[in-house]
Amino acid sequence: MTGHGPGGHGEYVGLGPLDEYPIHQLPRPVAWAGSSDRNFYDRCYLNAHDRTGDLFLITGLGFYPNLGTKDAFVLLRRGDEQTAVHLGDACDPRGADRMEQRVGSYRVEVVEPLRRLRLVLEETEGIALDLSWEGSFEVVQELPHVMRQGSGTILDAQRFAQVGTWEGTIAVDGEEIAVTPDRWVGTRDRSWGIRPVGEAAPAGKPADPAFEGMWWLYVPMRFDDFCVVIIIQETPDGFRTLNDCTRVWKDGRVEQLGWPRVEVRYVSGTRVPTSATITCQTPEGKELVLEVTSKLPVPIHVGGGYGGDADWTHGVWKGAGFTERRTYDMTDPDVAGRVMFGVIDHVGHAVAHGPGADGAEGWGLLEHGAIGRHDPSGFADWFDLAP
């Protein structure tokens, strides 16, 4: 072996700049993922809206070290049109680019860890962003999320979430939109671990039992005096495999909100929610009820890369310096027919009733997917729709 490659020893890639810091969790360089699973990932997700339902911006950046890739996306919904910008590149095998989270013209700057970020997309395919995030409450560390199918592990991840406000500008084809923190709110999360990414792996033996679907609800909401983060997942028979419901107050108090009862209402002939009633329970045994309404739906598997997106999948190698823009007419039957097979993020409005919250108004995210069979919802199979 001759020469000096990026790792400093020919073609061998080992230590990187992160190894100068006392942050190691395993007896190996930081750039080496703790698991050899090809689906290892580390990704952030962020969204922004102005509470009107006129616009919803969803974006994120991810690293997939065992695939050698990194990517970012911007998804913008206005009216019946959904526009996506995709960026992809090779990740640095030394991990240096994890200190500077950047994919091409897209970057996330950590201004103050767990509190303030800056998000920048230099003009790409007619879209540009320069947005500053400030968390309104402390981050919420969610319970570990594990999802298995037969003998295999599909998902094994850790995540934290936060609600907050935005300031800056969004530019779309020459139109500049001012973003001010008095109106613009959003939610964000960072997750890492194992989940399906990149090109499909060889199938092997068919799963037993076969995958019949999943029911998912994720509701981070920002109120003036507190925030609520609710995550629920159920199997087709309604068995709850994940239940993580938390309220965080301005003074730092944290309450667990029990085992919520959820009623979701859908547009007739679809699986697109219009609203939901979520009845939580405080530690004192009193009911805290959230009436949540959708102001604008965004299927994140239409251009966002989530859950079987036909156009963009996180971690797929598209070549060095890859960028593209795609636009979707959400009234097109070919596009609308995909909506029921994935998760939908909504501009969410909530009114809370109960201890410390009678009539309090909140804004944030209503994320829901009823995919395949779900007995409690009355969905008998993959194609059943709301009456």
Per-residue pLDDT tens digits for 376-385 = 999 999 999 9
Is the model's pLDDT at 2 over the cut of 50? no
What value does the mean pLDDT take over residues 338-362? 96
Please state, in angstroms and rounded to a whole number, the distance separating the CA atoms of residues 144 and 203.
26
Domain ranges for the chain, please list them: 29-196+211-377
Residues 95, 100, 103, 109, CA torsion sign: positive
Q: In what order do the strands lie in the sheet with 287-299?
A: 254-256, 240-249, 226-234, 213-222, 360-372, 344-353, 287-299, 273-281, 261-266
The torsion angles phi and psi of 8, rounded to 5 degrees, stand at 90, -5
Predicted confidence band of residue 168 (pLDDT cuts 50, 70, 90): very high
Q: And the tokens for 48?
A: 């922004």
The torsion angles phi and psi of 105, rounded to 5 degrees, stand at -85, 5
Residues 303, 306, 310, 314, CA torsion sign: positive
**Residue 8 CB contacts under 8 Å (≥ 6 apart), including other chains:** 14, 15
Please state, in angstroms and rounded to a whole number, the distance separating the CA atoms of residues 227 and 362.
8
Output 368 or 10, whichever has higher pLDDT: 368
Buried-state track 249-279, b at ≥16 Cβ within 10 A, e below 16: eeeeeebebbebebebebeeeebbbebbebb
What value does the mean pLDDT take over residues 206-220? 91
Per-residue model confidence (pLDDT) at position 11: 57
**What CATH architecture is 29-196+211-377?**
Beta Barrel (2.40)
For 96-152, write each residue's pLDDT tens digit.
999 899 999 999 999 999 999 999 999 999 999 999 999 999 999 999 999 988 888
